[in-house]
Each structure stands twice: as C-alpha cells, then as structure tokens.
Amino acid sequence: MLFSITSNAQDLNALKWKNRILIIKATKNNDLKFEKQLTEFKSQDNALKERKLVLYTMNNQKLTIIDYTTDTTDTSKRLSDDMMITIFSAKNEFEVILIGLDGSIKLRQTEVLSKEDLIAIIDAMPMRKSEIKNR
C-alpha cells in the first residue's frame, strides 16, 4: 500500500496488522453516493470496533478519520500531495476501498457498500475467522 499522509498526519502503513481501513472517497461536493455511504455506517460503532475498522472519508480533498477502535474522529489531518494524486486522480467520482490487516486491498467498488456486506466481507477473511475462533 503506497498511501501516506504527511506532516500532522498518520501513515496508513502504521495501521498494518492493527486495523482494517475503509476509504470512502468522492471527488465532488454533495455526492449522493458519498452521503448515502456515510449514513450506512452511522449506527455501526460496536460492529466496526469489533472488526478493528478505521474509516477514512475523503470528500473533495477534505479528510475525516473515524477510528472505531478508540471512538475518535479527527478532521485536523491533511492529505499529502501523493495521496491526493493517488486517490483523486482516479476516474471514479465515488469509490469505496477496503484494506485488510495485511495492507492489501480486499475490496474496491464504485457503488455504495451496505453495512451487512462490509461485515460479511470482513468476517469471511481468514484473519477475522482466527480472531473469532480465539475469542
């Protein structure tokens, strides 16, 4: 994974093996899919916390980080130039990207992801199965 956020920021690689990352991006303001996607995860704090999820929302270069594992939201960080180029130069105006604990992309799609589908995808991952078994 080549994403990084510099100065007053967090490197996504620092989350590897600790958290799963969900990136929701929209390149324009008032994107209906973006708003619908955010609504989809509003009431899922416990399920997302249990699955070690950190949510990065990027809307027209505005970044918000919601860390469900610590119940914190941060809007003070900025996107690095590299990340802006990597994320916002993509042709898709709306995109959802799920990154697993191992740092690899597990899902990339241009349609709204339901909370049920997200949970099912994560629960089907080998490391998640191991977490459940060891609980």
Query: pLDDT (tens digit, 0 to 9) for every residue of the chain, 135 residues total?
Result: 444 433 344 456 666 778 999 999 998 888 999 999 999 887 767 899 999 999 999 887 788 888 888 888 888 776 666 666 666 666 788 999 999 999 888 999 999 999 999 999 999 998 888 888 887
Domain of residue 99, CATH code: 3.40.30.10
Using CB atoms within 10 Å of the CB of residue 56, give its burial: 0 to 12 exposed, 13 to 18 middle, 19+ buried: buried
pLDDT value for 89: 63
In a domain, 1, yes or no: no
Domain of 100, in residue numbers: 12-134
Residue 6 domain-assigned (yes or no):
no
Degrees, nearest 5: CA angle 99-105-109: 95
CA distance 53 to 87: 19
Question: Would you state the pLDDT for residue 4?
Answer: 41
2 domain-assigned: no
Q: Can you read off the two tokens belonging to residue 10?
A: 């967090």
The overall pTM is greater than 0.85: no
* Residue 4 within a domain: no
Residue 123 belongs to a domain: yes
The dihedral through the CA atoms of 36, 64, 86, 116 has a sign that is negative
Helices and strands per DSSP (H, E), number in the chain = 5, 6
- Split into its structural domains, the chain has a count of 1
Residue 9, pLDDT score: 43
The answer to whether residues 31 and 24 touch, using CB atoms and an 8 Å cutoff, is no
